[in-house]
């Protein structure tokens, strides 16, 4: 009887894990959609800077889990912040990323993304999509970019990019933690700094 119960529990556990496993093909399909949209936007020379930023705003709103990322990069300071600070940080952090990634994607003009499969994450709600960025007919070393996706409520969202082995989210978290530790007003001063970054990015051509 005892063996039967254990066997039944093992079967249920295995079935649950199989059911919870993320569809890797759909994860790749999602990431392709994002990269195609980004490259297509950059390659379109008829778009103005404002139009390009509007598209990147939509990309960030639709395909990135900004609340999850904001909580992660602020670390312990997220819970210590007021609701107003949390929202202000998230809005400013998003705007800075839209402007900076709109500019960064220009560097990938003419490049193509090759997809190299997926890798399971420790969390059964997350998955890594492996890509390599190449520029055809150019003697340039390819760049590896791993997209960390989170699957929730029936949809994928990007929560991190790992470029050449370096996690952008983790790097940002460490930088912000150091800034907050040395700042007189913690997160409030960080928000001021981010707003200045946004202002500087807007004035750059």
Every domain of the chain and the residues it spans: 26-203
Q: Which residues of the chain have pLDDT under 70?
A: 1-20, 137, 205
pLDDT value of residue 137: 67
> What is the homologous superfamily of the domain 26-203 according to CATH?
Tgt2/MlaC (3.10.450.710)
Helices 168-182 and 187-203: crossing angle, nearest 10°?
120
22-69 pLDDT, tens digit each: 899 999 999 999 999 988 887 788 888 888 888 888 998 999 998 999
pTM summary value: 0.84
DSSP string, the chain: -HHHHHHHHHHHHHHHHHHHS--HHHHHHHHHHHHHHHHHHHH-TTS-HHHHHHHHHHHHHHHB-HHHHHHHHHTTHHHHS-HHHHHHHHHHHHHHHHHHHHHHGGGGTT-EEEEEEEEE-SSTTEEEEEEEEE-TTS----EEEEEEEEEETTEEEEEEEEETTEEHHHHHHHHHHHHHHHSSSTHHHHHHHHHHHHHHHHH--
């Amino acid at each position: 009887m005892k063996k039967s119960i254990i066997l039944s529990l093992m079967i249920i556990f295995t079935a649950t894990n199989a059911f919870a496993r993320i569809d890797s093909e759909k994860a790749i399909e999602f990431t392709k959609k994002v990269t195609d949209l980004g490259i297509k936007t950059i390659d379109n020379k008829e778009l103005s800077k404002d139009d390009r930023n509007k598209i990147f705003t939509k990309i960030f709103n639709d395909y990135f889990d900004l609340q999850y990322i904001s909580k992660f990069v602020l670390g312990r300071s997220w819970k210590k912040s007021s609701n107003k600070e949390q929202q202000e940080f998230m809005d400013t952090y998003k705007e800075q990323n839209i402007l900076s990634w709109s500019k960064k994607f220009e560097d990938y003009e003419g490049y193509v993304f090759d997809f190299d499969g997926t890798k399971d994450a420790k969390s059964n709600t997350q998955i890594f999509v492996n890509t390599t960025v190449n520029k055809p007919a150019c003697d340039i070393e390819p760049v590896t970019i791993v997209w960390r996706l989170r699957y929730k409520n029936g949809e994928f969202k990007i929560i991190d990019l790992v470029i050449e082995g370096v996690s952008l989210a983790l790097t940002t978290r460490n930088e912000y933690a150091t800034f907050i530790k040395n700042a007189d007003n913690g997160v409030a001063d960080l928000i001021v700094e981010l707003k200045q970054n946004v202002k500087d990015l807007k004035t750059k051509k």
